[in-house]
Amino acid sequence: MYPPKFDYYRANSLSEAFSLMQEHGGAKVIAGGHSLIPSLKLRLADPGALIDIGRIGELKGITANGNSTRIGALTTHAIVAAAKNLPQGLTEAAGWIGDPQVRNRGTVGGNIAHADPASDLPTVFTALGATINLTGPGGERSVAAQDFFTGLFETALQEGELVSSIDVPTNGGGSAYAKLFNPASRYAVVGCAAQVKVENGVCSAASVAVGGLTSHATKANAVEAALLGKPLNEATIAAAAAQISQDLGDDVMGDLHASADYRRSIAPIYVAQALTAAASRAG
């Protein structure tokens, strides 16, 4: 297996990237290459030209800023996993992606721009209420994570735009991520991210999202509603987790590893796991 022929361009700055993108219509942007290179080798993609943005320094790194932390799009999963100033639900999810080679190469921006339905980070960013910052030749704009993921491998990104960074709120309470691993690829068969706040012994804020189940990361509104104003214990968490079937509707997908029915049936378990861990971290 080897990729079809392509021209390679390296952008040293964002502006250079945009002009290269304009010049080579149909070109693909490459950063870590963990999704793009396999699809090239399998001949599922034949873009003719690749624009490498991997060395653009302004897109790298993690910066804390008050109640929010900004993650540059080119930051690798390994860097995120090791970061101290990010919600635990995000760092643990990043640490469970693939294997060390994948985590050292794969980038956060590439991951969410690809929007694989079995990917972990879309679920986590959706639950954490993150903001995805996009940049294009016309300037910058921001999209809430829950609006960014729109379908199967589909996002709010428009032609000519790149993900530049992600702003993650750090004052949202305790957070956690739970997942059933695909035993071979380590992708999520079912993944759940949860963030909760506890005040006066009851849940004052809850944000929950699931992945691996439908075409894209999904906010679990019914689960959240069932938690608010309740003390967080085994019974209330189980009852709330059972609400996930409301949030999922009929759109659950199946594949050779797990049928839609199986995914649906175990989703509450991982919702409950994530909620239990998040509650224990809510202080």
Partner 1 sequence: MPIQHIKVLRNGTDEEELKVVETTGLPTWDADTKFTVVGRPQSRLEGLEKVTGRARYSYDVRLSGQLYAAVLRSPYPHARIRHIDTTKAEQLPGVHAILSSANAPDDITWYEEKSKLFDKTLRFIGDEVAAVAAESEEFAQDALRLIEVAYEPLPFVIEVEAALQPDAPRVHDKGNRVDEPTIYERGNAAAGLREADVVIEQTYTTQTAVHNSLEPHGCTAFWEGDQLTLWESTQGIFETREQVAEKLGLPEHHVRVVKEHMGGGFGSKQVPWKQTVIAALLSKQSGHPVQLMLDREAENLAAGNRNATVQRVRLGAKRDGTLTAILADIQVVVGAYMVGGEASEVNGMYERLYRCPNVRTEQIGVYINAGPCVAFRAPGHVEAAFALEAAMDELARALQLDPLTLRNRNYSEIDQKKEKPLSMPNALQVCYERATAAFGWQTYQRPAPTGPKRRGIGIAAHEWGGSGQPPAYAWIKLNGDGTVDVVTGTQDIGTGARTGLAQVAAEVLGLPIEQISVHLGDTAKGPYSPTSAGSSTQASVGPAVFAAAVEAKRQLLEVAAKLLEEEPERLEIRDGVVMVEGEPENKLTVAEVTGRLAPHMIIGQGARGPNAKDKTIRTFGAQCVEVEVDVETGEITVLRVVAAHDCGRIINPTMVDSQVFGGITQGVGFALTEERIVDEKRGLVLNANLEEYKIPTVADIPQMTNVPVNLPDLAANPTGVKGIGEPPLVPTAPAIANAVFDAIGVRLRHAPLSRRQLLAALATQAESIDKSAPPHTQEGQS
| Residues lying near partner 1 in the complex (CB under 8 A) | 1-2, 180, 183-185, 256-259, 262, 265-266, 269
Q: Match 């079995």 to its residue by tokens.
A: 118
Q: Name the minimum Å distance from CB 258 to partner 1.
A: 8
Q: Name the minimum Å distance from CB 185 to partner 1.
A: 5
Up-side HSE of residue 107: CA atoms within 13 Å toward CB?
28
Name which of 202 and 239 has its Cβ closer to partner 1: 239
Name which of 22 and 185 has its Cβ closer to partner 1: 185
Instruction: Supply 262's token pair.
Output: 């199986």
Name which of 87 and 211 has its Cβ closer to partner 1: 211
Q: Name the minimum Å distance from CB 252 to partner 1.
A: 14
Name which of 44 and 184 has its Cβ closer to partner 1: 184
Q: Name the minimum Å distance from CB 255 to partner 1.
A: 9
Name which of 99 and 159 has its Cβ closer to partner 1: 99
Q: Name the minimum Å distance from CB 184 to partner 1.
A: 4
Name which of 6 and 262 has its Cβ closer to partner 1: 262
Name which of 50 and 189 has its Cβ closer to partner 1: 189
Q: Name the minimum Å distance from CB 198 to partner 1.
A: 22
Up-side HSE of residue 152: CA atoms within 13 Å toward CB?
6
**CB–CB of 176/277 below 8 Å?**
yes
Q: Name the minimum Å distance from CB 265 to partner 1.
A: 7
Nearest to 175 by CA among 215, 205, 150, 153: 205
